[in-house]
Amino acid sequence: MRIRNINLMEGPIWKQILLFALPLLVTNLMQQMYSVADLMIIGNYSGVDAMAGVGSTASIISMVIGLATGIATGVSVVTVQVSSSEDYDNLYKVVHNGYALAIASGLILTAVGVGFAPLLLSAMKTPPDVLPYAVTYLRIYFAGALPVTIYNVGAGILRGVGDMKHPFIFLSLGVLLNVGLDFLFVGFFDWGVSGAAWAYVIAQFITALLVTTSLATSMTPFRLFLRDISFHPRILFRSLHVGVPAGLQSFIVALSGVFIQTFINRFGKHAVAGFSAASRTDSFVFVLVSGLALAVMTHTGANIGAGRPERVRKGLKQSLGLTFVLVAALSGLFILLRHPIAAAFNPDPAVTSYATHIMTILLSTYWIFALTEIIGATLRGMGYAFFPMIVSLICMAGVRLLWMLVVLPVWNSFDVIIMAYPVSWLISLITYFVYFMRKGSRILDKLQGEQTRESDSCTMETTENSINSAKAGGE
């Protein structure tokens, strides 16, 4: 099987995974620049209160992005399946069902977000001096939920048919437009958080328009006809079967972030702003991890489908080593540069103090999360998508909440809140490892045995045919 001209069945595994992940890393990196640009420009032009207001919305926004990405993942996977089999009738249905799903989910997110933004932020104990900024930013952001879902689904369709170039170009243009409008609205017109939010919405609308135009004007089997956008039940079920677990997993992880943000808010606006700056920084490491994990999942799925379990084992070992080296190197670089990075978001000494301290704790332990994601990606590639979702629910959300409720009252320290992340990562890693050794490894052994028996059977059949041919020749 070849994906984007990368043969996942032959050659050095670590190199294939890295080559496959590279375009995803660059694309995700560009997408991450939206939130980084917003926070930096707000922090330097509008002050700590506005920066903390924008930062306090990050965990809620992550839930929206997670759901949109999950939906896009489901559509993209089904697109790959029907496109590779040249099933053009179903490819037509995938494209139009995907857009119907994007529009419906985008409208629902907009209605819920705009209506419940103040309630959500108040429930999170957002500091009163930053609450108005947070409500303004979040409400305008949710107004852009529809173009967010449309772009993600449209880009997912293009990637599903092997087009990595256009989604990247559209996203890059969106980021450049977002940054330019940020400087114009926030730096020149002094519109504050509302200016940053509208800059994001406009940029998202343009990227959604570009990807839709690309699909609607392409003379290909995956062309989009706007008048034909509608649901197709069987395709919808297939897309949701993959997309819902992926989206829920991201949603659950983001929900745990809401819990943690609630406790951080109690320490005031400087803590909120510092945590926001640190989170934006370690998100670049997260991008690296997520790109590698998706590449590992694809490599695993391709080799399982081809009956190559031995490459799955080798792939897991090499992926764990590759991921550890890359994540440790990038995390180490950010730790060394933590002071100038924090000051770039906001020069306030209290903000930079919180930011650098949080970076040191999280980035020095991020490798634990990275290894967890690689094992989870391997399991998903083997067809076990439900178990990683359960682990995320229990460890990423449940353990963190329990940690806050049990440990924080005893040791009321800001460090306790931040330590919730590495503690949950470690428990997740142990859980994944035990599950893989008990079940995943057994499945690979079974596939290996079946492959050996089939090989032996083919050898015996070939031998018998040779003997029969020889006898026939002799006669």
Average pLDDT over residues 21-33: 78
Least confident of 78-87, 140-149, 165-174, 447-456: 447-456
How much is the pTM?
0.81
Average pLDDT over residues 371-393: 84
Tokens (6 digits) for 414:
């800001």
**Does residue 47 contact residue 125 with C-beta atoms inside 8 Å?**
no
Can you give the pLDDT at residue 452? 55
Can you give the pLDDT at residue 137? 95
Listed in sequence order, the DSSP H helices in 56-188 are 58-84, 88-123, 131-143, 145-160, 165-182
pLDDT above 70 covers a percentage of the chain that reads 92
Can you give the pLDDT at residue 362? 96
Average pLDDT over residues 74-94: 83
- The span from the first CA to the last CA of the chain, in angstroms, equals 44
Can you give the pLDDT at residue 448? 66
DSSP 8-state assignment for residue 3:
E
pLDDT digits (tens, 9 = 90+) for 134-172: 999 999 999 889 999 999 999 989 987 878 788 889 988
Can you give the pLDDT at residue 5? 47
Q: At a CB cut-off of 8 Å and minimum separation 6, what does 279 contact? A: 55, 58, 358
Question: Helices 131-143 and 58-84 sit at what angle, rounded to 10 degrees?
Answer: 20
Can you give the pLDDT at residue 136? 96
Higher pLDDT among residues 111 and 257, named by residue: 111
- Assess whether pLDDT exceeds 60 at residue 451: no
Most confident of 59-73, 78-92, 216-230: 216-230
Q: Please name the residue that has the structure tokens 């995974």.
A: 17
- Assess whether pLDDT exceeds 70 at residue 456: no
Task: Count Cβ atoms below 10 Å from residue 402 Cβ, excluding itself.
Answer: 14
Higher pLDDT among residues 401 and 213, named by residue: 213
**Does residue 31 contact residue 66 with C-beta atoms inside 8 Å?**
no
Tokens (6 digits) for 226:
């706007």
Least confident of 141-145, 308-312, 426-430: 308-312
**Does residue 339 contact residue 378 with C-beta atoms inside 8 Å?**
no
- Assess whether pLDDT exceeds 70 at residue 379: yes
Average pLDDT over residues 289-307: 83
User: What pLDDT band is residue 85 in, cutting at 50, 70 and 90?
Assistant: confident
Can you give the pLDDT at residue 4? 46
User: What pLDDT band is residue 439 in, cutting at 50, 70 and 90?
Assistant: confident
- Assess whether pLDDT exceeds 80 at residue 236: yes
Q: Please name the residue that has the structure tokens 């297939």.
A: 238
Average pLDDT over residues 232-245: 86
Average pLDDT over residues 186-204: 94
Please give the sequence-ordered ranges of beta strands (E in DSSP) within 307-463, or none if there are none: none
User: What pLDDT band is residue 35 in, cutting at 50, 70 and 90?
Assistant: confident
Q: What is the residue-averaged pLDDT of the chain?
A: 86
User: What pLDDT band is residue 2 in, cutting at 50, 70 and 90?
Assistant: very low
